[in-house]
Amino acid sequence: MEFKNLIVDKKDGIAILKFNRPKALNALNSETLIELKAAGEALNADKTIKVVVVTGEGKAFVAGADILEMKDLTALEGMAFSARGHEAFATLENMEKPVIAAVNGFALGGGFEVALACDIIYASDRAKVGFPETTLGIHPGFGGTQRTAKLAGLAKAKELIFSGKTIGAAEAYEMGLLNKVVPDDQLMASVMALAGKIAANGPFAVRLAKECVNKSLSLDNKEGLALEAKDFGLCFATKDQKEGMTAFVEKRKATFTGE
């Protein structure tokens, strides 16, 4: 996959999708949003890929939406920009395989929202996150107001969003916004170790588990348990379930095919 503002590398069932506009701290312009949607759709359809890792080139993960592009937008252009963003973020969020954010530096505004749209977030101890939108006269528009509150609680989300302040990875971890903070030079190794562990598991089971966990936020308990029961039953229609349990009985490592 060839892109202008993204680099996609694939190895051993894991794809690394890297934002690559380091001179603009990987800010999200329209072109990048269009490429992100295309890359996300292609990785979703690629059966050889079990896990997707999202990261940034240089000192930033993503420093937000591109302020230079947004500054002079007309209302109609603003709507088009918003639609491109929503399509790109939906592709990431609805990926039928786990997506891990490896936050290597600044993840601000729309950049932090990219990370929050991922399933799991590991961050470098040098990373800085936050929502500077209110300092620009707007507020988070790619899911930040919703996802931050769900992870950190209402009061912490409001403090972060209303103030527009930037916080370090350790503080973000304390707030429940990150899964793990690791020394900068160990970030990719830690993320790849986790991705490898997930990639070795039954892909269909992981996909259904993601669906169940995601829907736990919108379904009531009875509906959620009904979905879990249905998806649990579906696992028994797969070769992977037979392989996983046969391998356990035969005391060997399972080899899953995603069938």
Residue 126 or 207 having the CB closest to ligand DAK: 126
Are the CB atoms for 160 and 130 separated by under 8 Å? yes
Picking from 184, 165, 183, 171, the residue whose alpha carbon sits closest to that of residue 58 is 184
Residue 131 or 256 having the CB closest to ligand DAK: 131
Q: Between vectors from CA 9 to CA 6 and to CA 15, what angle results, nearest 5°?
A: 100
Closest distance of CB 21 from ligand DAK, Å: 9
What span, in angstroms and rounded, lies between the C-alpha atoms of 157 and 112? 13
Closest distance of CB 91 from ligand DAK, Å: 15
CA atoms within 13 A on the CB side of 6: 24
Residues that bind ligand DAK (CB under 6 A): 24-25, 27, 63-68, 78, 81-82, 85, 106, 108-110, 132-133, 136, 141-142
Query: In what order do the strands lie in the sheet containing 120-124?
Result: 6-11, 14-19, 51-56, 99-103, 120-124, 180-182
Are the CB atoms for 77 and 29 separated by under 8 Å? no
Q: Between vectors from CA 185 to CA 160 and to CA 64, what angle results, nearest 5°?
A: 35
Are the CB atoms for 129 and 166 separated by under 8 Å? yes
Are the CB atoms for 46 and 4 separated by under 8 Å? no
Residue 45 or 68 having the CB closest to ligand DAK: 68
Catalytic residues: 113, 133
Closest distance of CB 148 from ligand DAK, Å: 13
Residue where the block lists tokens 């993601």:
210
Residue 140 or 203 having the CB closest to ligand DAK: 140
Are the CB atoms for 38 and 80 separated by under 8 Å? no
Helix axes 154-163, 144-152, angle to 10 degrees: 140
